[in-house]
Structure 1
Amino acid sequence: MVAVAQPRFGVWAVVYGSWGPFDHPDDPVNASWERNRRLIVEADRLGFDSTLIAQHVVNPFGDELDQLETWTSAAALAALTERIEIIAAIKPYLVHPVVLAKQALQIQEISGGRFGLNLVNAWYKPELERAGIPFAEHDERYEYGREWISVVRGLLAGERVSFEGRHFQVDGYQLRPAGSAPTVYVGGESDPARALVADKADVWFINGQPKENVAGLIADVAARPRVGAPVRFGLSAFVVARDTDAEAEAELAALWELAEAGKARWEALVADADPKAVMFQTFAKYPHIGTNGGTAAGLVGSYDTVAQRIREWADLGIETFMLQFQPFEAEMRRFAEHVIPRVRLTSSKLELAR
């Protein structure tokens, strides 16, 4: 495990319209393209390094709610931004790997080499089942995803790909133009997910949870056989940062009150999730605000406290922090103004000390 000298900071695009309680008075649910365009263009200007555009076709919190489409939005954001990395999530059952690889290479060209794809193997059953797409058993989805990403990675590398598997048969396929290959991120924490990360991922996205858990996950994947550069690690987290720890805790308590009022939506989502999805088993152990572990990552406190905790995560090996806020835009600006400079200053001092 290698400490990260200079952490990278990303923001989740608001594809659901909100990453915290749905009834926040200063953060009305809004998943529109216009809001996401403004948000990510501003994140680019503020110096954030990445954005993650999660993928759903329908909103898992209720299909009466808007849901941003991932890949068309990724292409548009690639053209509208200058330096931020655009990461688009993909569920393999929704798009054939040859088609997806072509889309990824095109967005990589549009962005000037700032594109990444995030492979997720699906947990929300109605999204597939109501479309007539079978929702396979957990380990079967990872077998399918392994074949899928094997085809995609070869095509992204500019290779002429022939592949004969249980799910895909590809005969001498090659895509052009092909420049630098997009970064491949993989999510999931089950044993099949970890095996897939060790074999095929550039970066592993880990859900927010206590550090001792994450340390064990990182050690497990780092110890697995691998060809090529070591896996890098990312962490999802929901940030509540204020002048003092007490103010941050008071804000977190207010968010919990709002979450309690709207918990029926969360319970309905969990009821429609695959019970074998490890992240939901983890979430049940560590209550949190936000998705993908949210505040369980511990980034709640004063600006100095949050900066110190980020540094501790970086010492553990976390390179990319994919962050959620509420209200998103205002708290994103607060983080950029007060926390990022503190982390950068600490990182610079550590570099000089070395």
Structure 2
Amino acid sequence: MTTLGAVFVPQLPPERLRSVVRAADESGLEELWLWEDCFLESGVATAAAALAWSERVRIAVGLLPVPFRNVAVTAMELATLYRLFPGRAIIGVGHGVQDWMAQVGARAESPITLLREYVTALRGLLAGERITVDGRYVHLDGVALDWPPSGAPVYVGATGQRTLRLAGELADGTILTGGTGVEAVRAARQRIDEGRQAAGRTDPHPVVVYLHAATGDDAEARMAAERVRWGYHDGQDVTVAGDAHAVADAVARWADAGADTVVLQPTPDDPDPEGFMRFVAERVRPLVA
């Protein structure tokens, strides 16, 4: 069955998060996704608050930019979340937006090398291993967590072919950005599977994709403005606007292309973010196989 989620977009102020989390949790939404976008809101701080304010909804962060964060700090933060809220947190990591990384003096000359070193070390630390590594970017000298978690999925956000293969090889799941069309999902799934095959992996590997979605009386107008903001060309099939049936039909197409989880991404100017969570859980979810 396709998992259905929704995004709390960080263009909303942090103080709005609590009511959106409550709406997601009470309506039965499966997953609420958060972003760590520069320079809006922290992924870990918002995830911790959302987990504490809720009882059952899974809280996911997609994603933490690895140039921003020492891998040992990330491992400590993730282990704490996974132990405090077992089975309810999903954390993704990735390259980050390179222009933003340059702004903070953290841009890597070889993002793919950094991500490989980082994910390898992060997964080892979360598995309770003592890690010593002297890589191009990651340097650890006998580092081990005192409180490693039991079960700690690490997803990787990916767009390019090399990163998609790396995600299949090293990660527990892959996150595809909004603007990924149906055919691009199929192609990404193939690249991910190539990485999994090369690594001899046969464990499940969920593929998550964001899908721009809007509903309500002004949905078409808001989505048209959103398409301009993201630079999508006319005819590019990467958004949906309409009622629950229209949104569910779009979710089904992305799921048929290979997405295990479809996360509906509202427009930043959605007039009712809490209502959007209820719409996804109560009206779209029953229509999705």
Q: Same fold (TM over 0.5)?
A: yes
Tell me the secondary structure at the aligned position of residue 147 of structure 2: coil
Tell me the secondary structure at the aligned position of residue 318 of structure 1: coil
Indicate yes or no: 2:260 matched with 1:319.
yes
Indicate yes or no: 2:274 matched with 1:329.
yes
1:12-23 → structure 2 map (5 Å cutoff): 12-17=7-12
1:43-82 → structure 2 map (5 Å cutoff): 43-58=24-39, 67-82=40-55
Aligned to 2:200: 227
Are 1:87 and 1:116, in contact at CA under 8 Å, matched by a contact in 2?
yes
Indicate yes or no: 2:236 matched with 1:255.
no
Indicate yes or no: 2:22 matched with 1:41.
yes
1:67-116 per-residue CA deviation (whole Å, 9 max, x = no partner) reads: 22221221222222112222232111211101110110001112123112
Instruction: Supply the distance in 1 between the matched residues of 2:112 and 2:88 (Cα, whole angstroms).
Output: 27
Structure 1 residues 318 and 163 mapped into 2: Cα distance closer, same or farther (>3 Å)? same
Instruction: Supply the distance in 2 between the matched residues of 1:210 and 1:76 (Cα, whole angstroms).
Output: 32
One-letter identity of the residue aligned with 1:46: S
One-letter identity of the residue aligned with 1:116: I
Structure 1 residues 212 and 115 mapped into 2: Cα distance closer, same or farther (>3 Å)? same
Indicate yes or no: 2:241 matched with 1:300.
yes
Structure 1 window deviating more from structure 2 (6-15 vs 225-234): it is: 225-234
Aligned to 2:57: 84
1:46-66 per-residue CA deviation (whole Å, 9 max, x = no partner) reads: 1112222211341xxxxxxxx
1:245-284 → structure 2 map (5 Å cutoff): 251-252=219-220, 254-255=221-222, 258=225, 266=229, 284=231
Structure 2 gaps of 5+ residues are: none
Alpha-carbon RMSD across the aligned residues, in angstroms, is 2.5
Aligned to 1:271: none
| Shift in Å, 1:339 | 1.2
Instruction: Supply the distance in 1 between the matched residues of 2:68 and 2:169 (Cα, whole angstroms).
Output: 22
Structure 1 gaps of 5+ residues are: 1-5, 18-30, 59-66, 267-282, 289-294, 348-354
Moved beyond 3 Å, runs of 4+: 127-131, 256-260, 283-288, 295-302
Aligned to 1:136: 108
Structure 1 residues 108 and 123 mapped into 2: Cα distance closer, same or farther (>3 Å)? same
1:120-135 → structure 2 map (5 Å cutoff): 120-125=94-99, 127-131=100-104, 133-135=105-107
Tell me the secondary structure at the aligned position of residue 97 of structure 2: coil
Question: What is the TM-score normalised by the length of structure 1?
Answer: 0.71
Are 1:236 and 1:297, in contact at CA under 8 Å, matched by a contact in 2?
no
Structure 1 residues 14 and 220 mapped into 2: Cα distance closer, same or farther (>3 Å)? closer
| Shift in Å, 1:257 | 6.0
Question: What is the TM-score normalised by the length of structure 2?
Answer: 0.86
Instruction: Supply the distance in 2 between the matched residues of 1:217 and 1:177 (Cα, whole angstroms).
Output: 35
Are 2:248 and 2:284, in contact at CA under 8 Å, matched by a contact in 1?
yes
Structure 1 residues 96 and 257 mapped into 2: Cα distance closer, same or farther (>3 Å)? closer
Structure 1 residues 296 and 39 mapped into 2: Cα distance closer, same or farther (>3 Å)? farther
Instruction: Supply the distance in 2 between the matched residues of 1:91 and 1:197 (Cα, whole angstroms).
Output: 15
Instruction: Supply the distance in 2 between the matched residues of 1:201 and 1:158 (Cα, whole angstroms).
Output: 17
Number of aligned residues: 280
One-letter identity of the residue aligned with 2:107: F
Instruction: Supply the distance in 2 between the matched residues of 1:152 and 1:257 (Cα, whole angstroms).
Output: 40
Aligned to 1:117: 91
